[in-house]
Amino acid sequence: MLRLEPRTETKTLIQALAPAAAVLITMVVGGLLFAALGKNPFEAIHTIFIAPLFDPYSRTELLIKASPLILIALGLSFGFRAGIWNIGAEGQYVMGGLAGSAVALAFWNVEGAWLLPLMAVAGIAGGAAWAMIPAFLKIRFNANEILVSLMLVYVATLFLSAMVSGPLRDPDGFNFPQSRLFHDSARLPILMEGTRVHVGIIVTMVAVLAAQIFLTRHLFGFNVRLLGQAPRAAAFSGVNAKRLTVICLGLSGAMAGLAGLFEVAGPIGQLQPSLPVGYGFTAIIVAFLGRLSPVGILFAGMVMALTYIGGETAQFALGIPSAAISVFQGLLLFILLAVDLLTRYRVRFVRRGEV
Amino acid sequence: MDLSVVDPVALFVGLVAAATPLLFAAIGELVVEKSGVLNLGVEGMMIVGAICGFATAVKTGSPALGFVAGAAGGCVLSLIFGVMTQYLLSNQVATGLALTLFGLGISALIGQPFTGVKSPTMARLEIPVLSEIPLLGRLFFSYDIVIYLGIALVAAVWWFLKFTRRGLVLRAVGENHDAAHSLGYSVVAIRLAAIAFGGACAGLGGAYLSLARVPQWTEGMTAGAGWIALAIVVFSAWRPWRVLLGAWLFGGVTILQLNLQASGFLSWLQSLGIPAQAQYLSMTPYLITIAVLVVISADGSKARSNAPASLGRTFTGSG
Amino acid sequence: MRLVNTFAAAALATGLASAAFAQDPTKVGFIYVGPVGDFGWTYEHDQGRLAVIEEFGDAVETTFVESVPEGADAERVLRQMAQSGHDLIFTTSFGYMNQTMNVAKQFPDVKFEHATGYQRADNVSTYSARFYEGRHVIGLIAGGMTESNIVGYIGSFPIPEVIRGINSAYLAAKSVNPDVQFKVVWSNTWFDPALEADAAKTLIEQGADVLMQHTDSTAPMTIAEEEGIIAFGQASDQSSFGPNAQMTAIMDDWAPYYVSRVQAVMDGTWESTDTWGGIDSGMVAFADFSDKIPADLAEQAKAAADAIAAGELHPFTGPINKQDGSPWLAEGETADDGTLLGMNFYVEGIEGVIPN
């Protein structure tokens, strides 16, 4: 009989090899899937996993697609370490984008370098405020934050829909439910001519670095981990669980809100009802795939983005239906999550009865 | 505006039908959560149930077999989640989300040949005599058999959890898996069974969508119903009969919203300058759910006895 | 190592494969907002794509990406398509407008065709269909056949396209039945089968015995069939879902337009144009009329369709007042395209307020 035992020490080699092994297994299983659909498996895998890495434009797009995932996942990872489950980042992302857009539209056609920072503040505030609702209900009424934050995703999405078909609708847009196009002062500056690489990506990268330092070098990082692993010990050592709840939820909400703002002020350039495309949920997976470590999240976000971008190319280059792409992504996630087990536990044979 | 055209009986009949897919998915998820597992893949299991049910009904000509296949499809998908989270100890939140992604994709792949195909229709169960009673007949005896099955399932789950030994064990596992383990219960086996049951129920709910409520197959046809089912479980405070109430509430708001629009009521409010967009009305069940959650959580003793304490936590078996 | 070699070989094979096509076929791309299996809007565009293949065979290579959200992703997909050697790209949803314009600016040699939008450039054409002409014809049938005098209408979003359809159908219905009344329900989505089914049921419960829809799923037709009332197909011939219920359907037939535009690219005669095709162009077509339509009514509806096609009849011909009673079109005056494109008011007789 097989038995799992927690590893007492984490081996860096296994930690590094496990995701690579998972990607290889996914390539084989995915290849079989594509072969079953009558497509050339090698071409398909090459298009999805490898080609985007060698095309300069796709590389920039990888950053653009991964950036919101990474930013949101980073914010979530603090809470997840502390055992605080914010799964409503999608709603906070929407509220951040909405608040930032409201500022942009209020100052429509007003030029000024102050506008973008103001929008960023509004985005952060919008996301954080939305996350404060589950935080407040948790510390005041002990309401489960998983469920409250999930409910608020739907409220936020419906609110966005009401706003873009009401007060924020483009007055010259023939009643289509979307806002005006933002003017130049309200758009994120582009870093590389001819691409869509915007300032937000730098912010994301800085956030990865900052989070890494924060978690390893700062008392806050220690407290966060302590609360998640041993809540009672945390209480004894003077960690204020309520304050930490507010900070963790607020932080994740703020980062999700900022990601939402980057999306509307960056690649989209206006407020659309289709703003929520699931980044808030995908980021949860990214956070776990990255094992809640900032650098891990960076890689996990890039891998997810790779499958999205490669998947689009595979659709028009090879005629693979989008359904097959999402099956493939699901497989990749399953295998990554399963293989991750080997980094935390080791498998040992035991005789029956010896428990 | 003419509110008299809104027939309360028709409204009720409509909401019961609209609520049924939600009811199935939610009652299944309730059992899963009672065992201490949070499966966020309800949407994926529902849509796989919808296509398995539809495809089988078309191929065999039998809606009944379709429902069986829908349940089986949801069940098989849920076992992926079960094996991942129970044996491979993967994180439940992440695995559940991946399950939804996978389910939406695989259902679309299976469903490609079935787009634009008509399913065999299900005969409505007109209970003789009873369904002819004025008012009451329409209110209580005018539905298809699956709706009654759904309500019976709620009763069965209620009875199982409250009065049977196995139900007690299941709740114990959800409450404190380490304690249940040391008492000699197989936490993993019990949870796997609960997950499979939840998958079958979600599959049934999906099959009801594609075989009775809409009835047809289109990609992505669940359109978020699985997420609403998750909300209903919370709304119910993990009590089976309240799941029924919650499903009717969520189904009811949709139907009411449409009725108020069709009768011109929303238009009338808007003409008074009140922003009575349908979106605001659609928000209400979620807000009510949060309010309910706050009320039950604020009362500490009640919350403890109902919300499974081990919900979402990984059981490693190493004690 | 083996695996790495295999991938290298695969990469090489891909390269060779593309080099083998010395005589490049014209490459035509499509970007869809929904899945090709929606049996509505996207399905019809994909039928147009298939017609292009049928017409040109090996001389053309078509590609598509489905279910692309309107937003950041659309621009990337368009750009990747433009970069990978497409000659002509059809962007088949209104929400792709800004993305189409952005990418077109960067790829002046690639031709773009944007459906239902209002912005053009030297390499961006727009095209849309005058569905309101079709709605006039089904409005006549609806007005003539309703017994309860209540027509249920499921709208998606209160945009001019949809409002135009409601007005056109209402005016036609009223011309044959002065007592007809329209009940409009907004779904705030293009595609949600369960919600559309519920909307259909609600309208039927509130007395509608004829259903029209401006949403994309076939659910309302299925409900109409179940409840034994009549309905009109949207975008596609939906008779398989409502063999008894469907009186006819307004079909979006993009095939002739797509074929002609691909031909123009091949001939080097493509120019940026704004096409708003009606019944005469074949873009708006009808499914077979049901034999349940009384013969004289069917005759009248067909005559109206012919007259519209011949340019003898305009669905918006005065006198028409706006909902508030203020005059819009004088006796004999017809609506200009500008007003129609921006239509944001109901005509006199329709109850309710356009939500905003």
Q: Is residue C277 part of a domain?
A: no
Residue C4 has pLDDT above 50, yes or no: no
Higher pLDDT, C270 or A222: C270
Tokens 């050339």 sit on residue: A40
Give CA–CA dist B160/B165, Å, rounded. Answer: 8
Q: C155: which residues sit within 8 A by CB, 6+ positions away?
A: C162, C166, C184, C185, C186, C187, C214, C215
HSE-up (13 A, CA, CB side) for residue A217: 6
Any domain includes A324: no
Q: C355 vs B10: CB contact, 8 Å cut-off? A: no
Could you read off the pLDDT of A106-142 as tens digits, one per residue?
A: 999 888 899 999 999 999 999 999 999 999 999 988 8
| Band (A347; pLDDT cuts 50, 70, 90) | low
Domain with A133 in it:
67-290
CA distance A314 to A331: 17
Same domain for C167 and C117: no
- C170 and C313 share one domain: yes
- For chain C, the domain total comes to 2
**Is pLDDT at B270 greater than 70 in this prediction?**
yes
Kindly state whether residue C1 falls inside one of the protein's structural domains: no
Residues of chain C found within 8 Å of residue B209, distances taken between Cβ atoms: 193-194
Helix (H) or strand (E) holding B173: helix B165-175
Nearby residues of B34 by Cβ (< 8 Å), 6 or more positions away: B161, B170, B171, B174, B194, B238, B308
Is the Cβ pair B297, A337 closer than 8 Å?
no
- Output Rg (C-alpha) for chain C, integer angstroms: 22
Last residue of a domain, one of C81, C110, C129: C129
Predicted confidence at residue B127, as pLDDT, reads 63
User: Do residue C309 and residue C223 come from a single domain?
Assistant: yes
Confidence category of residue B302, pLDDT binned at 50, 70, 90: low
Q: pLDDT-based confidence at B210, cuts 50/70/90?
A: very high
| Domain annotation covers residue C10 | no
pLDDT at A320 over 50: yes
pLDDT digits (tens, 9 = 90+) for C295-329: 999 999 999 999 999 999 999 998 999 999 999 99
If asked whether residues C143 and C123 sit together in one domain, one would say no
Interface contact B303-A285, CB threshold 8 A: no
Q: What is the pLDDT of residue C17?
A: 42
> Any idea where the domains of chain B sit in the sequence?
3-306
Q: Both C238 and C291 in a single domain?
A: yes
For chain A positions 208-237, those within 8 Å of chain B (CB to CB) are: none
Quick one: closest CA in A to B181, which residue?
Answer: A355
| Residue to substitute from A43, A53, A315, interface C, most C β-carbons within 10 A | A315
The answer to the question of residue C201 being in a domain is: yes
Closest-CA residue to C304 (of C248, C265, C347): C248
Strands C230-235 and C246-252: parallel
Give the residue from C108, C129, C150 where a domain finishes.
C129
Contact of C114 with C97, CB cutoff 8 Å: yes
Q: Which two tokens stand for residue A14?
A: 């296994």
Closest to C306 (Cα-Cα) out of C290, C331, C286, C287 = C286
Question: What are the start-end ranges of the H helices in chain A?
Answer: 12-36, 41-45, 51-54, 56-81, 89-106, 115-141, 145-164, 199-217, 219-229, 231-236, 241-263, 279-289, 294-318, 322-344
Instruction: Give the tokens for residue B69.
Output: 């296949």
B113-159: pLDDT as tens digits: 887 787 776 666 556 666 677 767 777 777 788 889 999 999 999 99
Q: What is the pLDDT of residue B281?
A: 76
All residues at 6 or more sequence positions from C328 whose CB lies less than 8 Å from its CB, including other chains: C318, C320, C321, C322, C335, C345, C347
User: What is the nearest CA distance from C83 to chain B, expressed in angstroms?
Assistant: 28
Tens of pLDDT, residues C148-178: 999 999 998 888 889 999 999 999 999 999 9
- The domain in which residue C320 lies consists of 131-251+284-341
Query: Looking at the structure, do residues C182 and C329 belong to the same domain, yes or no?
Result: yes
Residue A278, domain member (yes or no) = yes
d(CA A150, CA B38): 13
Do C155 and C99 lie in one domain? The reply is no
Shared-domain flag, residues C157 and C124? no
Residues B207, B66: contact at Cβ < 8 Å? yes
State whether C95 and C238 are in the same domain: no
> A27 and A50 in contact (C-beta within 8 Å)?
no
Mean pLDDT of C30-47: 88
Domain boundary among C77, C112, C129: C129
Which amino acid, C222?
T
Q: Does residue C321 sit in the same domain as residue C199?
A: yes
Mean pLDDT value of segment C33-60:
90
pLDDT of residue C12: 41
Would you place residue C13 in the very low, low, confident or very high pLDDT band (cuts 50, 70, 90)?
very low
Query: Is C273 part of a structural domain of the chain?
Result: no
- Per DSSP, the three-state class of B116 is coil
State chain B's mean pLDDT as an integer: 86
- Answer whether B259 sits within 8 Å of C226, measured CB to CB: no
CATH number of the domain to which C61 belongs: 3.40.50.2300
Q: Are residues C82 and C167 in the same domain?
A: no
Say yes or no: C228 contacts chain B, CB-CB below 8 A.
no
Domain count, chain A: 1
Q: Between B10, B220, B268, which is nearest C205 by CB?
A: B10
Percent of chain A with pLDDT over 70: 90
Determine whether the interchain pair B102/A288 forms a contact, defined as Cβ–Cβ distance below 8 Å: no
> With respect to CATH, is domain B3-306 assigned 1.10.3470?
yes
Q: Which residue has the higher pLDDT, C217 or A228?
A: C217
User: How confident is the model at residue B184, as a pLDDT?
Assistant: 87
Please check whether residue C279 lies inside any domain of the structure. Answer: no
**How far is A92 from A130, CA to CA, in rounded Å?**
6
Q: What is the pLDDT of residue C64?
A: 94
Find the distance separating the first CA and the last CA of chain B, reported in whole Å: 65
In this structure, is residue C91 part of a structural domain? yes
C162 and C71: one domain?
no
| A285 vs A70, residue with greater confidence | A70
Question: Given pLDDT bands bounded at 50, 70 and 90, which one contains residue C9?
Answer: very low
Least-confidence region, from B44-58, B80-94, B248-262, C2-16: C2-16
Pairwise pLDDT comparison (B119 vs A24), residue with the higher score: A24
Of A179-193, B20-34, C157-171, C185-199, highest mean pLDDT:
B20-34
